[in-house]
Amino acid sequence: MSPAPRPARALPGAPPAPLAAPRALLARALAGALAGALAAGGAREARAQADISIVDDRSVHVPYEYEVEEGDTLWLISQEFFNDPWLWPNLWALNPAISNPHWIYPGDVIRLKWNPQAARDEEGEAFELEPVTYSADLQKVVRRVMNKGMILETRRDPLARVVASPEPRDTLSTGDRVYLQAPNTAAMQLGQRLSVYRVISQVLHPDSRAPVGDKVHLIATLEVLEKGDERQLVKAVITNAQQEVERGDVVVPELSSLLDVSPVKNLVDLDGVILDELEGFSELGQHHVVFVDVGAEEGVLVGNRLSVARRGDGAVPLARALDEAAPLEPVGELLVIATEPHSATALITRSTLELRRGDRVYMLRNY
């Protein structure tokens, strides 16, 4: 089988309507030339083993198997052995046990070429290529993420507020005691864990300028130490402060900040935009947190991955008509770590350029 053509480097697309063309082309960019190799079950494996070769006679200088090392990707392996990273879809097809090309792990053994006759010519007639086994350790897939904020689409009544402290400082940190004023002291329990958040700003949609909600920073967690009657302030201790706590900060029931997130298959097709980011930066890269304008009610799940794409010229602004005619280019990928009804918090897991507020995001079903 001759090598498959390279997938388009552009993360293809069109303006938000219609969506069919960008979604189909985006899927092509992600899957490359794998249409025939991705048939389910044994048929897919048989095709991968029998029909697919990665390159021409360059492959004779390549080992049959390779053990994955830290930092390897199919893209980098294709570049190293075949001098062409865009051959990664064929490499994926040669290894049908790899369910997702983005998740390979150190110690996995993958096949770099499959030609039984050539193998026997090189190694002798008794040589047999055994099927390569591949198993993903769930612990390797889980990503531990510190969630530092979110968009609250509707304002929540505070459980309490920090109103005082015995500490002689304006700002308070881990280990400091605080006094809370609660409208309903009876609703609080000794040992209860609470979260402190601070409203940073209102978030407006970058396209419509309509209000989306309040951007809040999760700044600390508390534990209730003492509570008296309704006339007495509740005493608590700051157990973990990401930022300094101030008198007047809002206290709510505990919101998870340390999350263990595993990738999950996308169940729906969606597109949206990056609404905002958390830290006040204008340009963003890997490990920054962003917010997008699609959420749980649109079908977004924790663990979904979204591709980020951008149009236009990288150095100069274009006229609107020319800008809209330019293809979408892939610039990054996001991992959803928390959802609200119509928005989600996501971690930037990959970026080839700095990401910005207003960049388009796409979620592809079954990715």
Domain ranges of the chain: 20-137, 146-257, 262-363
Where residue 191 falls (left for φ over 0; alpha for ψ -120 to 50; beta otherwise) is left
Give the pTM.
Answer: 0.63
Task: Name, in order, each residue with C-beta under 8 angstroms of 11's C-beta and a sequence gap of 6 or more.
Answer: 25, 26, 29, 307, 309, 327, 328, 329, 330, 331, 362
CATH class (in words) of the domain with range 146-257: mainly beta
Pick the CATH number of 20-137 from 3.30.2350.10, 1.20.1050.10, 3.90.1150.170, 3.10.350.10: 3.10.350.10
Q: Which pLDDT does position 29 carry in this prediction? A: 46
Identify the pLDDT of residue 61: 65
Tokens 């920073």 found at = 217
Beta strands in the chain (DSSP E): 65-67, 109-111, 143-146, 149-152, 160-164, 171-172, 177-181, 193-204, 211-226, 234-241, 245-246, 250-253, 258-261, 270-277, 289-292, 305-310, 329-339, 344-351, 360-363
- Distance between CA atoms of residues 286 and 306, nearest Å: 14
In whole angstroms, give the CA distance from residue 295 to residue 58. Answer: 47
In this prediction, residue 289 carries a pLDDT of 92
| pLDDT for res 19 | 36
What does the pLDDT read at residue 125?
64
Tens of each residue's pLDDT in the chain, 367 residues: 333 333 332 222 323 333 334 454 444 444 432 333 333 333 333 333 334 445 444 444 677 788 888 778 888 888 888 888 778 877 887 776 676 777 777 778 888 876 666 666 666 666 565 555 554 444 456 777 888 888 988 888 889 999 999 999 999 999 999 999 998 888 889 999 999 999 899 999 998 999 999 999 899 999 999 987 778 899 999 999 989 999 999 999 888 777 888 888 888 889 899 999 988 888 888 889 999 999 999 999 999 989 888 877 767 666 767 767 777 777 888 999 999 999 999 999 888 888 989 899 998 877 7
Hey, what CATH class is 262-363 in? Answer: mainly beta
